[in-house]
Amino acid sequence: MLLDRDAAVVEVAVELARTTGATLLGLACDVTDEAQVAECFARIDEQFGRVDVLVNNAGTITISTFEELTLEAWNTVLTVNTTGAFICAKAALPLLRRSNGGRILNAASGQARQGFIYTPHYAASKFGVIGLTQSLAKELAKERITVNAYCPGIVGTDMWAYNDREWGRLLGDYAPGELMAEWVAAIPLGRAGTNDDVANLLLFLASPEASYITGQSINIDGGMFMS
């Protein structure tokens, strides 16, 4: 099952998954809309009857000076990144209980370890994700539902292309790609992360081998944040 706000992204992902023989239900959904999320999980219940793993991966960011940061931008980032995870976890919980030991995996960030310049709202949202993760892990442990967060560093995605441009504009006269290259050079492992790096961690946390791991926030950043 795949939820994404962009119906075109959903369609592409569904077709790709079908080439592997997987059965996939793709639904376009705004994770900040409780009614939409409830309807999506009703569809999931109808088709699959349970949820084994919930990955809360929806996220957004804006970059600006604190003085220029608007309440609208603050609310949007907190609502998507933190409230969206709450809404989806709450809707999924009855179906996770049917899996006899489900998993919730929440997208946090390196900025959940250390706030960063020009993104206080993003950092606050990701610190909030870790708080949500730990609280749910304690509450749901008796039902053998584990809850963990993952904290990516620099990963080569479209979001990082935006970050490179906007941070580069505010931090100095950087040409496209120069700022990210500078930051990547400071990573102990000497490279940016990939989607596969993150996916491999999620596959492990979703597996039976990770049944004794809960309430954790795991860095996947090549050594950027060692905490």
Segment 32-51 shows an average pLDDT of 96
109-122 pLDDT tens trace: 999 999 999 999 99
Is 122 catalytic? The answer is yes
Tell me the C-alpha distance between 53 and 92, whole Å. 9
Q: What percent of the chain has pLDDT over 90?
A: 81
Question: Looking at the predicted structure, is the pLDDT value of residue 193 above 90?
Answer: yes
Domains and CATH numbers, the chain: 50-220 (3.40.50.720)
- pLDDT value at residue 66: 97
3-state SS assignment for residue 200: helix
DSSP letter (8 states) at residue 3: E
Selected catalytic residue, list 118, 122, 162, 212: 122
DSSP letter (8 states) at residue 191: S
- pLDDT value at residue 19: 81
CB 154 within 8 A of CB 147: no
135-175 pLDDT tens trace: 999 999 999 999 999 999 999 887 888 899 999 999 998 99
Mean pLDDT computed over every residue of the chain: 93
Q: What percent of the chain has pLDDT over 70?
A: 97
- pLDDT value at residue 95: 97
